[in-house]
Amino acid sequence: MSDEQKKDLPEGVNASESQPSESAEQPTAKPVAAEAKAAPMSGEPTAVPGADVAKAGGAGEPPGGYAEAQTKPEAPAGEAAAPVDAEREAKLKAAAEARAARAAAREAKAASTGEAGDAPAAEAAAPSDADKEAKAKAAAEARAARASARAAKTEGADPDAPKVPSPNQPLLDRLVAILKEFNADAVEESFVNEKGGHVPYVVLKADQWFEAAVLLRDHSELRLNYLRNVSGIDMETHMEVAYHLVSLETKRDYVVKVRTNRETPSVPSVTEVWPTANWNEREIYDLLGIAFPGHPDLRRIMMADDWVGHPLRKDYEPLDPEV
């Protein structure tokens, strides 16, 4: 209020009383923070309306958290469980009644049939036995028919018709001729193994084997320069060693067998001719007891050095039956 306005006031009136207070004239301003919050910074999460009301609890917490769950009144257990228990009792009662009805029906049926109750079971089992007999009879007739067909085929064949020779018969004949040129008495037997791929086989004498092996390797027509496998066989009356030979140039296979006695079996070693015979001959010596004179290191290869006997011989008797 200016000084001129103060002079115009009546006496006894205080200038401070006539002046309205600033608080009465002007409304109280609310804090800015109360009316509106500052805009969030970039990347800061914003509040979603109603999120504080429908807040979900954490892991394992009920919706709204433990605080809200504690404020909610719990429903009486009896009201929720009563319908479930009543439904379960009704189902159990219905199942019991059904079982009782089925049992009563079975008893009534058994009482009406009496002793004849076993007859249907016997009648049901009879067709099964009849089926088995019929199947067995049909199988026997089929076997008899096949046997008759084989017999008729054999009878119909011309016994005088010559046998068709093996396609490798010329190879066998040439092999025997080469061996007999070397020694007329070297070959004891020769044949073609038709069931084993028509492979030519020759059986040689043991005392002629080493020289014959060198011939088979170096002959220009044979050139059997690779020893594929060596196997020993206990024939009960004698022992045999089979050498499976192949030519890497001609791709032809031959098998040479060498026979020896059972008491003191011995076959000359051909490790010097084919180095692959080394361990094969050791294995045959270990398991069958066949000696190979001329072998550079003839000793056991599978069994222990102090093992008694040779396990693949047909007369082998182990010292410990459990081994």
> What's the CA angle centered on 103, arms 101 and 105, to 5 degrees?
70
> What's the CA angle centered on 23, arms 18 and 27, to 5 degrees?
125
pLDDT of 137 reads 84
Q: Indicate which CATH number applies to the domain containing 196.
A: 3.30.460.80
Q: What is the number of other CB atoms lying within 10 angstroms of the CB of residue 33?
A: 8
Tally the domains of the chain: 1
pLDDT of 31 reads 46
Q: Is 60 left (phi over 0), alpha (psi -120 to 50) or beta?
A: left
pLDDT of 223 reads 96
Q: What is the number of other CB atoms lying within 10 angstroms of the CB of residue 317?
A: 8
> Which residue range(s) make up the domain with 235?
169-263
Residue 307 lies inside a defined structural domain of this protein: no
pLDDT of 197 reads 92
Residue 288 lies inside a defined structural domain of this protein: no
Residue 245, H or E segment = strand 239-246
Residue 214 lies inside a defined structural domain of this protein: yes
Burial of 292 (C-beta count, 10 Å sphere; 0-12/13-18/19+): buried
Residue 254 lies inside a defined structural domain of this protein: yes
Distance of CA 132 to the CA centre of its chain: 36
pTM of the predicted structure, to 2 decimals? 0.52
Residue 234, H or E segment = strand 226-234
Residue 320 lies inside a defined structural domain of this protein: no
- Bridge partners, 116 (sequence order): none
Residue matched to tokens 């059986």: 203
Residue 182 lies inside a defined structural domain of this protein: yes
pLDDT of 148 reads 82
Q: Using the Cα atoms of residue 55, residue 58, residue 59 and residue 62 in order, give the sign of their dihedral.
A: negative
DSSP state letters, 264-316: S-B----TTT-TTHHHHHHHHHHHH--B-TT-TT-S-SSS-TT--S-TTSTT-
Residue 231 lies inside a defined structural domain of this protein: yes
Burial of 151 (C-beta count, 10 Å sphere; 0-12/13-18/19+): exposed
Residue 185 lies inside a defined structural domain of this protein: yes
pLDDT of 46 reads 56
pLDDT of 44 reads 52
pLDDT tens for the chain, residues 1 to 323: 556 555 555 555 555 554 544 444 444 444 444 444 555 555 555 555 554 544 444 555 555 555 544 444 454 544 445 555 777 787 788 888 888 888 888 888 777 765 444 444 444 445 567 777 888 888 888 888 888 887 776 666 666 678 788 999 999 999 999 999 999 999 999 999 999 999 999 999 999 999 999 999 999 999 999 999 999 999 999 999 999 999 999 999 999 999 999 999 999 999 999 999 999 999 999 999 999 999 999 999 999 999 999 999 999 988 877 76
